[in-house]
Chain A
């Protein structure tokens, strides 16, 4: 039963990922990515990690994808990939190279599996309490750094997205546009 549901979810995830890469319209790509993120959240739920699953849905499928959809709407979708691809020959190379990369990663996993049986440990479960304890003890410094990073990103985005009046904004020399 678990294997069947894993297979279905994995199929949805891989299909959505392929849809993201193959579809021309970025809006369709965004919807495929939402499907992919949702299926990975379902996988977390299958592993019993409720907290991660909900964080995945809220942060990724919620916040990040809304940002993406906003950006796509601002940027007039579908205008940039029309017309023949001047570098098509090189891009086709990506498929065998990607297959090679996949083979390599699979080999690494297989080698790891052959190296020995996994340590006999009970799966950790998804308790919020245990994760919070870890975050506020062992990972306290990176956890606080994360807040600094988010603040820096916010300030940077405000600076970048500000509409420049008369081209006289600091950091953007006049007359050099285009």
Chain B
């Protein structure tokens, strides 16, 4: 049986990598994928805590996170594609205005 602290430590490492990826990368698609990584790390922490307390609430919350992540990815990718249609470059440094 693996102690839940290990899962939490792994979750912390993955979350940090995700956050650093969001800050470091310039491609909005990779930034999105880094956000997914951080969300997954949070999911892992939720599950670990749920196991620690012996109930199912953590797992239910993970299901909600999955659904919200799916919606978020669909809308975000649509926005990125819409921006790409207008301006052919795709770097977050160029996208400092809300209108284009």
Contacts and interface: CB of A to CB of B under 8 A. Distances in A.
A complexed with B: yes
Interface of A: 2-3, 6, 10, 13-14, 17-18, 20-21, 26, 29-30, 33, 36-37, 40, 43-44, 46-47, 49, 51-52, 55-56, 59-60, 63-64, 67-68, 71-72, 74-75, 79-81, 85-87, 91, 94-95, 97-99, 101-102, 105-106, 109, 113, 118-119, 121-124, 126, 130-131, 134-135, 138-139, 142-143, 146, 149-150, 152-154, 156-157, 160-161, 176-178
Interface in B80-94: 80-82, 84, 86-87, 89-91, 93
Contact of A79 (B10, B56, B80, B90): B90
Interface of B: 1-2, 4-10, 12-21, 23-27, 29-30, 32-34, 36-37, 40, 43-44, 47, 50-57, 59-60, 62-64, 66-75, 77-82, 84, 86-87, 89-91, 93, 99-100
Given A80-B90, A80-B91, A85-B26, A119 B54 contact: yes
A84 to B, nearest CB: 11
Contact of A55 (B5, B6, B15, B66): B66
